[in-house]
């Protein structure tokens, strides 16, 4: 009962958040609603017992992707009024595609029979072993059977990092940097010059 | 439920190269002066050590070792191909130094990236699983994308890098799509399982997957019709990088192609054979005819490399031990010819800048007779004139095609090599019979002269002495693939 209630609550929030993402006028609000949707989706994953995907969703999508979106939206000066001008023009084709998708879903629902579900269930990957969380189950094969691929992927990321630095890092001449050692080693006679100022002449 | 550590011995050379690359990065960060020279030398040294480890830890000529759950394989074939790749990369590293200093792009990341690209190529050659294949390929490609646009102030170089990246990503996409289809229809990504499990299964899904995989790999070896990127990338990339492109990755991608079709799909030979025959004919013809109108020597070498890939694929199309043996011999000889030619190209310097128009070679025989002679040897060898090494490569390839009954392929190859001979011989004619152009900068007889002399000797009629030992090694290596 409690689980069903939580599910419907989260699902409703997720759907509402999704609607608000596309309907709110302010793009920053859209991104914030997107984050809300991600969070509730993560909650739904926890309900299904897939806590690893839930964590990834929060860490990667909320932590990185959504924040990146926020930056882009705030920095780019997109004229949203002009962007929405074509709305009516594209309305018919958009509506047609939506109707086709809806019809497909309805057809699947109508034609669904008992044997299809059992056949589909036979294709589902094996559930995680008893008494092991799916994070642990993933880790057990990722760091043993697939250690070679895992390490190679790490090397690819290293190359990506080196590449980004090689192609963009520039040494600009004339940049003033604070070097503490130089500051400490400076003596008064290096930087102070004593001038004799004659009255009425200036330097 | 405790896991045992996989056997690391077969992968020792790769592990060493990976650690060496990271150590080189550290050296680059902490050392201040003479950076490029030190890191380049250390890079060459670590590749040489990897070579020694590989030969010392070899599981025996006709034995096979696998590790990491069968994803990684070491056999005669992989050792042979890795030797070529290591030698090619070392030569490219040694030749790069002067150019980088002249162009003022002497940054220590260059040798580090070449070492990492070499690591990717070694992983490709040893891949016995589609996932291992893909990560190796991406490690190699990503390093090469960066290297192609290393001269970032020059527009041509960044353009080359971007083109290579976009088209390379496209080919990776096709490759992955093919792999996903193969996995979906067979339930495995391992070549060993595919080769035994697919006996007499004629499945249209698998064939479609195989076609996409071959398209992706044809991109990497720059075979027609997926060759469009080659001339632009070869021309735009810094010349030492072009030398690397023409030598090492081509060998590695060729090895990968052979491993996939012979190691993974021996039961579907009829399906992939016709694709290989088609791209082989296309590459030979495009390589021969498109090169006729080129005046930039790097573009010329790009079309030449497309043509040579076509010839090598003739041996693969035969699909026999003899054919694979021919491909291995061909790739070895091709690599010596290319490295030598690029050593000459990198010596075409006037006032510290490269001059790459072939007409600038006019009268080279009177100004620099030694270099002109070496370049003439390479050109005769690339054309496949008898008595030089390039002739033997073509001879074994065409013989294997005739033995396998592929007469049309052999005849087209023969015609294409006659047409191709024209533009190689034109360079010789320009060097020996045209009015001398201005003199190139004198080269101190250093690394470049050494590489030029050595490769010229290997391609000269002296190669008679070496061709039989090479054939023996290639025979053992080829047999391990079947």
Give the CA distances from residue B223 to residues A159, B214, B233, B236, in Å, rounded to whole numbers and listed in that order. 27, 10, 14, 19
- Same domain as A15, residue A94: yes
- Same domain as A105, residue A23: yes
Overall number of domains in chain A: 2
- Same domain as A82, residue A17: yes
Average pLDDT of the residues of chain A: 83
List the pLDDT tens digit at each of the 482 positions of chain B: 456 788 888 899 999 999 999 999 999 888 877 788 899 999 999 999 999 999 988 877 678 888 888 899 999 999 999 999 999 999 999 999 888 888 888 889 999 999 999 999 999 999 999 999 999 999 999 999 999 999 988 899 999 999 999 999 999 999 999 999 999 888 888 998 888 876 656 688 889 999 999 999 999 999 988 999 999 999 999 999 999 999 999 999 999 999 999 988 888 888 889 999 999 999 999 999 999 888 899 999 999 999 999 999 999 998 889 999 999 999 999 999 999 999 988 888 877 777 788 888 888 888 888 888 999 999 999 998 888 888 989 999 999 999 988 899 999 999 999 999 998 999 999 989 888 877 777 766 688 888 888 888 888 888 888 888 888 888 888 888 88
A11 part of a folded domain: yes
Q: Does A95 touch chain B (CB under 8 A)?
A: no
CATH number at residue A53: 1.20.120.1200
Q: Look at A28-42, A113-127, A137-151, A171-185 and tell me which has the smallest mean pLDDT.
A: A113-127
- Same domain as A45, residue A104: yes
C-alpha B300/C-alpha B294 separation (Å) is 6
- The model carries a pTM of 0.86
> How would you classify the pairing of strands B353-354 and B349-350?
antiparallel
Chain A residues lying within 8 Å of B72, measured CB to CB: 148
**Last residue of one domain, picked from the residues A118, A141, A157:** A118
C-alpha B88/C-alpha B244 separation (Å) is 7
Residues 6+ apart with CB under 8 A from B364: B371, B372, B375, B431, B436, B440
Q: How many CB pairs under 8 A join A and B?
A: 66
Tokens representing A109? 């629902």
Residue contact A155–B116, C-beta within 8 A:
yes
Which ipTM was obtained for this model?
0.91
Reply yes or no on whether the pLDDT at A114 is more than 60.
Answer: no
Residue A141's closest chain B neighbor by CA? B3
Reply yes or no on whether the pLDDT at A7 is more than 50.
Answer: yes
Residue contact B18–A155, C-beta within 8 A:
yes
CA proximity to B112, closest of B151, B142, B143: B143
Q: Is pLDDT larger for residue A26 or for residue B61? A: A26
- Same domain as A71, residue A146: no
A56 part of a folded domain: yes
Residue A148's closest chain B neighbor by CA? B68
A100 part of a folded domain: yes
pLDDT, position B444: 62
- Same domain as A95, residue A139: no
- Same domain as A91, residue A14: yes
A26 part of a folded domain: yes
A79 part of a folded domain: yes
C-alpha B389/C-alpha B392 separation (Å) is 5
pLDDT, position B1: 45
A138 part of a folded domain: yes
C-alpha A118/C-alpha B33 separation (Å) is 70
Domain that holds residue A155: 133-171
pLDDT, position B79: 93
pLDDT, position A117: 54
pLDDT digits (tens, 9 = 90+) for A118-173: 555 555 556 566 777 888 888 888 888 899 999 999 999 999 999 999 999 887 77
A82 part of a folded domain: yes
**Interface-testing mutation among A139, A158, A159, A171, with chain B (most B C-beta atoms within 10 A):** A159
pLDDT digits (tens, 9 = 90+) for A61-72: 988 888 888 888
- Same domain as A37, residue A92: yes
- Same domain as A10, residue A38: yes
- Same domain as A99, residue A6: yes
Residue contact B113–A148, C-beta within 8 A:
no
- Same domain as A145, residue A96: no
Q: Where are the alpha helices (DSSP H) in B126-198?
A: 130-148, 155-186, 191-197
Residue contact B22–A153, C-beta within 8 A:
no
C-alpha B373/C-alpha B379 separation (Å) is 10
Backbone angles phi, psi at B6, to 5 degrees: -65, 155
- Same domain as A161, residue A82: no
The separation between CA B416 and the C-alpha centre of its own chain, rounded to angstroms, equals 21
A189 part of a folded domain: no
């Amino acid at each position: 009962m409690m689980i069903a209630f939580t599910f419907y609550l989260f699902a409703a929030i997720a759907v509402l958040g999704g609607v608000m993402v596309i309907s709110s006028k302010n793009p920053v609000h859209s991104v914030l609603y997107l984050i809300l949707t991600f969070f509730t989706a993560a909650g739904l994953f926890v309900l299904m017992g897939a806590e690893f995907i839930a964590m990834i969703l929060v860490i990667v999508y909320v932590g990185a992707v959504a924040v990146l979106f926020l930056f882009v939206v705030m920095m780019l000066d997109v004229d949203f009024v002009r962007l929405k001008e074509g709305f009516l023009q594209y309305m018919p084709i958009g509506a047609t595609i939506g109707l086709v998708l809806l019809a497909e879903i309805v057809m699947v629902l109508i034609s669904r029979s008992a044997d299809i579900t059992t056949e589909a269930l036979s294709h589902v990957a094996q559930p995680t072993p008893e008494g092991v969380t799916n994070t642990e189950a993933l880790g057990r094969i990722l760091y043993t059977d697939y250690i070679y691929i895992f390490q190679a992927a790490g090397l690819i990321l290293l190359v990506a990092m080196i590449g980004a630095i090689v192609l963009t890092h520039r040494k600009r001449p004339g940049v003033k940097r604070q070097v503490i050692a130089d500051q400490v080693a400076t003596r008064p006679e290096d930087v102070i010059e004593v001038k004799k100022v004659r009255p009425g002449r200036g330097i | 439920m405790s896991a045992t550590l996989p056997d690391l011995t077969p992968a020792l050379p790769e592990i060493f190269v990976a650690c060496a690359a990271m150590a080189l990065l550290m050296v680059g960060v902490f050392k201040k002066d003479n950076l490029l020279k030190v890191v380049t030398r250390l890079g060459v040294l670590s590749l040489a050590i990897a070579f020694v480890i590989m030969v010392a830890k070899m599981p025996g000529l006709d034995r096979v070792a696998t590790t990491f759950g069968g994803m990684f394989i070491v056999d005669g074939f992989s050792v042979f191909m890795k030797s070529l790749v290591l030698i090619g990369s070392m030569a490219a590293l040694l030749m790069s130094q002067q150019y980088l200093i002249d162009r003022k792009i002497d940054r220590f990341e260059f040798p580090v990236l070449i070492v990492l690209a070499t690591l990717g190529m070694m992983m490709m050659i040893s891949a016995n699983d589609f996932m291992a294949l893909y990560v190796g390929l991406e490690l190699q490609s990503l390093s090469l994308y960066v290297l192609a646009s290393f001269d970032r102030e020059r527009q041509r170089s960044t353009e080359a890098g971007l083109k290579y990246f976009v088209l390379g990503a496209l080919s990776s996409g096709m490759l992955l799509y093919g792999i996903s289809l193969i996995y979906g229809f067979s339930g495995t990504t391992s070549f060993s399982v595919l080769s035994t499990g697919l006996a007499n299964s004629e499945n249209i899904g698998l064939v479609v997957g195989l076609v996409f995989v071959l398209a992706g790999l044809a991109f990497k070896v720059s075979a027609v019709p997926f060759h469009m990127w080659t001339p632009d990338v070869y021309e735009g990339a810094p010349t030492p990088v072009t030398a690397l492109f023409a030598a090492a990755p081509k060998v590695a991608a060729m090895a990968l192609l052979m491993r996939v079709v012979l190691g993974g799909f021996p039961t579907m030979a009829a399906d992939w054979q016709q694709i290989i025959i088609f791209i082989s004919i296309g590459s030979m013809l495009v390589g021969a005819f498109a090169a006729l109108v080129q005046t930039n020597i790097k573009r010329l070498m790009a079309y030449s490399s497309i043509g040579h890939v076509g010839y090598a694929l003739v041996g693969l199309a035969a699909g026999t031990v003899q054919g694979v043996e021919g491909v291995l011999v061909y790739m070895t000889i091709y690599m010596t010819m290319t490295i030598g030619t690029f050593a000459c190209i990198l010596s075409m310097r006037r006032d510290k800048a490269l001059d790459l128009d072939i007409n600038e070679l006019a009268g080279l025989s009177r100004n620099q007779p030694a270099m002109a002679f070496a370049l003439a040897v390479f050109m005769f060898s690339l054309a496949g004139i008898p008595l030089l090494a390039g002739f033997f490569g073509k001879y074994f390839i065409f013989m294997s095609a005739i033995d396998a009954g592929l007469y049309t392929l052999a005849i087209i190859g023969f015609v294409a090599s006659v047409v191709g001979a024209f533009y190689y011989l034109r360079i010789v004619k320009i060097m020996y019979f045209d009015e001398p152009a201005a003199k190139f900068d004198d080269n101190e007889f250093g690394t470049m002269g050494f590489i030029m002399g050595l490769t010229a000797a290997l391609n000269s009629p002296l190669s008679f002495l070496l061709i039989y030992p090479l054939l023996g090694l290639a025979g053992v290596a080829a047999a391990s693939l079947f």
